[in-house]
Structure 1
Amino acid sequence: MTLSIVARDALSGELGAATATAGPAVGALVIHGQSGVGAIATQAFTNPLFGPDGLTGLAEGQSAQAVLESLLAQDPERQRRQLILLDAGGGSAHWTGGECGGWCGSLSGEGFAVAGNLLAGDTVLPAMCDAFTRQSGQPLAERLLAALQAGQRAGGDRRGIRSAALKVWQHRRYAQVDLRVDWSADPLTQLDEVLVQVRAPDYADFFAQLPGREAE
C-alpha cells in the first residue's frame, strides 16, 4: 500500500527518503534517516523498529546489505515486510517478503533504492527510477518528489494516494528538509507546494540561521 525511495546525492552527500500511500500519516512510521549515517524506508506490514535499529547498525559502520540481513534475521514476520536501506556511502539494499500484498517489488540503482506494494503494476517502480535518474542536476528533495510523482502517474498505489512525506538530511543533527502531508485528496501536489515555500527566501534565510551542530 506504499511506494518509497531512499537516495543519496553524490555531490552534496545529502541523504533522503520519500514515501506515499493510501493511508494516513505515512511519514510517521515509514521513513527514517540520520545525517552522515543513512536512510531507511520500512513498509508493507510495517516494522517501525527497522528505522532506529537499522540506523544504529549503519552508524556502527555496517553496510546497508549487512544491516538489512541482520534486521530480517531477527524478525519472524520478515516475509510480510518490505525494506530499503541506503548507507552514507550510497550503498543500497532492498527486500520484499513473499507475503507482501498485491503487486510488489523493490529495485536499487547507483545511490538509490525504491520499493512498493499494492501497486497498480510493474511499471511503477521503473518509472520512479527513471524520473530520479533523469533529474540528476536538481537538488535531492526535488528529485525524490519527482520520483513519487512519476510513480503516481504510472499508477501508484492501486487504491490511490492520501498521504506523503519527504525528508533530507545533510550536516545538521536534524533534517534539512522535513515535509509531511498526513491526509489529502492530492498529497503530492500539496507536498510540492510546501517544498516551494521551504525554498522561498523568507523561510530559507530563517532556517540558515538556526543552530545546526554538525552530525557526529
Structure 2
Amino acid sequence: MTWSIVARDPETGHLGIAVASRFFAVGSAVPYMRGGIGAVATQAFVSPLYGTDGLAMLGQGKSPQDIIDTLTARDDGAQQRQLHLIDATGRNAVFTGAKCIDWAGHIIEDNVSVAGNMLAGPQVIEKTLAAYKDLASAPFAERLLGAMEAGEAAGGDKRGKQSAALTIYRDQDYAWLSLRADDHPDPLEELWRLYNVAQERYIHVAETMPTRDNPHGLIDRSEIDRKIASLEAERIASGRDSASFATPWKPS
C-alpha cells in the first residue's frame, strides 16, 4: 500500500522518513522515530509493534538486522509485512515479506533504504533512491521530498494517491519537523506547500525550542521575531504570496 524512504544524514546525524500511499493517513501508521536512537518504517500489512518495539530495541543497542530477525520470528503474519530501519550510527536493514502484494521490494545503501509494496514497479523505488542521491547538496527535508516526488513520477502506488508524510528528528525526543497530508488528491504536492509554510515561521521557531543540553531554549524572542519579520518583508517586497491558508493576523 505504500513506499517510503528511511535515511540518516551522515553530516548531521539527523533522521528522516518520507512516505506516500493510496491509503488514509499513512503518516499515522508508518513512521516511528527517536532522535539519537533510530528510525523505523513499518508498512504493507502494518504492525505498529514493529515500530514501537523496533525503536525500543534500537534504544537497547541491538542491530537493525537482529531487530528484524526478532520481530519477524515471533509474528505469524510477517510474510505480509514490510519493514526498514536505521540506527543513529547509520546501520540499517530491510525486510519484505514474500506475501506482500506486487510489486513489492526494497533497496538498501549506506545511510538510506527505500521500500515499497503495491507499486507500479521496481522503477518506483529505483527512481526514489536515485533522486535522493542526486539531491545530495539539498537540505535534508528537500532531499526526502524530492526523492518521493521522483518515485511518484515513476508510477508510485499503483492504486493512486491519497496521503503522504515527512518526519525529521534531530537529536531530541521530539520531531524537528513533522508534516502530514492525510487525505489529498496530490499529497506530495501538499507536503511541499506545508514545507514552504514552515519556512515562513515554524522552522525558525523550532530553532528556539528547549533541548536536553539547553532546557531553557531561546528565552529572548526578539531575535527570532526580527528574523521572521525580515523574511516576511522580503516576501512582500518580492511580490510573492504566502504559501499559508492562515487567516490574516489582526492585532488586538
Q: With the length of structure 2 as denominator, give the TM-score of the two structures.
A: 0.82
What is the match of residue 80 of structure 2?
80
Q: Which moved more, 1:159-168 or 1:203-212?
A: 203-212
Larger Rg: 2
State the alpha-carbon separation in 1 of the partners of residues 212 and 197 from structure 2.
24
What is the match of residue 206 of structure 1?
205
Secondary structure of 2:104's partner? strand
Q: What one-letter code is carried by the residue in structure 2 that aligns with 1:37?
A: I
What is the match of residue 51 of structure 2?
51
Residues 35 and 169 of structure 1 are in contact (CA less than 8 Å); yes or no, is this contact kept in structure 2?
yes
CA offsets 1:84-120 (integer angstroms, 9 cap, x no match): 1111111110011111012100110110111111100
State the alpha-carbon separation in 2 of the partners of residues 13 and 99 from structure 1.
34
Secondary structure of 2:3's partner? strand
Q: How many residues align?
A: 214
Could you tell me how far 1:211 is from its partner in structure 2? 2.2
Could you tell me how far 1:193 is from its partner in structure 2? 0.7
What is the match of residue 98 of structure 2?
98
Structure 1, unmatched stretches of 5+, are: none
Q: Does 2:182 correspond to 1:182?
A: yes
State the alpha-carbon separation in 2 of the partners of residues 140 and 154 from structure 1.
22
Where relative contact order (Cα < 8 A, 6+ residues apart) is larger, the structure is: 1
Q: What one-letter code is carried by the residue in structure 2 that aligns with 1:20?
A: A
Secondary structure of 2:205's partner? helix
State the alpha-carbon separation in 1 of the partners of residues 111 and 212 from structure 2.
26
Secondary structure of 1:138's partner? coil
Q: Which moved more, 1:135-144 or 1:14-23?
A: 135-144
State the alpha-carbon separation in 2 of the partners of residues 81 and 197 from structure 1.
35
Structure 2, unmatched stretches of 5+, are: 214-252
State the alpha-carbon separation in 2 of the partners of residues 77 and 194 from structure 1.
36
What is the match of residue 171 of structure 2?
171
Residues 36 and 172 of structure 2 are in contact (CA less than 8 Å); yes or no, is this contact kept in structure 1?
no
Residues 173 and 212 of structure 1 are in contact (CA less than 8 Å); yes or no, is this contact kept in structure 2?
no
Secondary structure of 1:16's partner? strand
Identical columns (%):
43
CA offsets 1:150-183 (integer angstroms, 9 cap, x no match): 1100000001111000100112220111000000
- Structural RMSD (CA): 1.3
State the alpha-carbon separation in 2 of the partners of residues 204 and 156 from structure 1.
29
Matched ranges for 1:99-178 at <5 A: 99-178=99-178
State the alpha-carbon separation in 2 of the partners of residues 36 and 7 from structure 1.
13
Q: What one-letter code is carried by the residue in structure 2 that aligns with 1:165?
A: A
State the alpha-carbon separation in 2 of the partners of residues 142 and 83 from structure 1.
23
State the alpha-carbon separation in 2 of the partners of residues 94 and 139 from structure 1.
25
CA offsets 1:125-158 (integer angstroms, 9 cap, x no match): 1101101111111122111111110110000000
State the alpha-carbon separation in 2 of the partners of residues 205 and 104 from structure 1.
39
